[in-house]
Amino acid sequence: MLLLISIFVFSLSRASGDPRNLYLDEYATDAMYEAWGVKLGLDKPLYIQYLVWLGDVVVGDFGESLYHNRNPFDLIKERLPATISLALIAFCWAILVGIPLGVLSAVKRGSFIDYFARWFALLGQAMPVFWVALMAILIFSVELGWLPTSRKGGPDSYIMPALCLGWLPAATLLRITRGSMLEILDSEFIKLARAKGVSPVIIIWKHAFRNALIAPVTLAAIIIASFLTGTVVVEAVFAWPGLGSLSIDAIKNNDFPMMAAIILMFGSFYLTANMLVDLLYMSLDPRVRVE
């Protein structure tokens, strides 16, 4: 899979035109052109070029960022902690709010909590993240002056970006958890447990919840993807010095080597996360292990 992504990135890098045009200006002579061609390995067949490029990438050599004039890999290493710390906080709040609220809203169907939870989810799924972030800045920073507008600083600078980033995943988790909880609470074995006189708390958290958890895990790929998108957007709005704003800079400056490095980075992260989810899935659902 990672190989596929790398082939995709490589073919795009070649489709973007002769890489010599990136390094040489219009005053370059034909001889210089040829010399650069040999230097970059363009005289060899395409699959050899790919293998050479892949070999460089594996050892962390993505060429040079056209804008920063530095190794993209070093830049990524510098920016990574900011993104990870923000994403972790957002992820925690998405899970801590989304899943319990989903369970509660299914158990107390039709109650105030259910009503609140459904609106929370509807809003989270319909409001564009960038707009929420801007409006939050307008209300809490510009008008009320409670929180810093942007950039990474003390703990209070995490509040708005993390809340904005986590809302959509929280809403998705909530809806999925609620749906599967409702379905499971309606099933035969729950009725049997009720008839047997098992206490409601045990029914909900032991019998139903463990089964209901499987649904969010199966859709984790979608949630993780929306999280990736969210990171880029939130970082762009809050001028957060992470990978997202790095990729936005790369777009604005047409910085291809930088972009290639970021995409491979995000891609490998995405695949690792999905693999971990598969493992989690197996430990949650014994039926999968049998196959």
In the complex, the residues that contact other proteins under the rule CB under 8 A are 1, 4-5, 8-9, 12-13, 15-16, 122-123, 125-131, 134-135, 137-138, 142, 172, 175-176, 179-180, 182-183, 215, 219, 221, 225, 228-229, 232-233, 236-237, 247-248, 250-252, 254-256, 259-260, 263, 266-267, 270-271, 274
The nearer residue to other proteins, 80 or 198, going by C-beta atoms, is 80
CB atoms within 10 A of CB 204: 19
- Nearest CA among 154, 150, 122 for reference residue 136: 150
Q: From the CB of 133, what's the least distance to other proteins, in Å? A: 9
Establish how many alpha carbons lie within 13 A of residue 195's alpha carbon, considering only the half-sphere containing its beta carbon. Answer: 6
Q: From the CB of 221, what's the least distance to other proteins, in Å? A: 6
Q: How far apart are CA 197 and CA 179, in angstroms?
A: 25
Q: From the CB of 238, what's the least distance to other proteins, in Å? A: 11
Q: From the CB of 125, what's the least distance to other proteins, in Å? A: 6
The nearer residue to other proteins, 60 or 128, going by C-beta atoms, is 128
Q: How far apart are CA 179 and CA 95, in angstroms?
A: 16
The nearer residue to other proteins, 149 or 198, going by C-beta atoms, is 149
The nearer residue to other proteins, 183 or 285, going by C-beta atoms, is 183
Structure tokens that stand for 244 in this block = 């997202």
- Pair 75, 258: CB distance under 8 Å: yes
Q: From the CB of 135, what's the least distance to other proteins, in Å? A: 7
Q: How far apart are CA 253 and CA 108, in angstroms?
A: 52
The nearer residue to other proteins, 30 or 188, going by C-beta atoms, is 188
**Residues near 163 by Cβ (< 8 Å), separated by ≥ 6?**
90, 93, 136
- Pair 176, 215: CB distance under 8 Å: yes
- Nearest CA among 79, 126, 18 for reference residue 247: 79
Q: How far apart are CA 124 and CA 167, in angstroms?
A: 6
Q: From the CB of 244, what's the least distance to other proteins, in Å? A: 9
The nearer residue to other proteins, 16 or 283, going by C-beta atoms, is 16
Q: From the CB of 36, what's the least distance to other proteins, in Å? A: 20
The nearer residue to other proteins, 11 or 199, going by C-beta atoms, is 11
- Pair 243, 57: CB distance under 8 Å: no
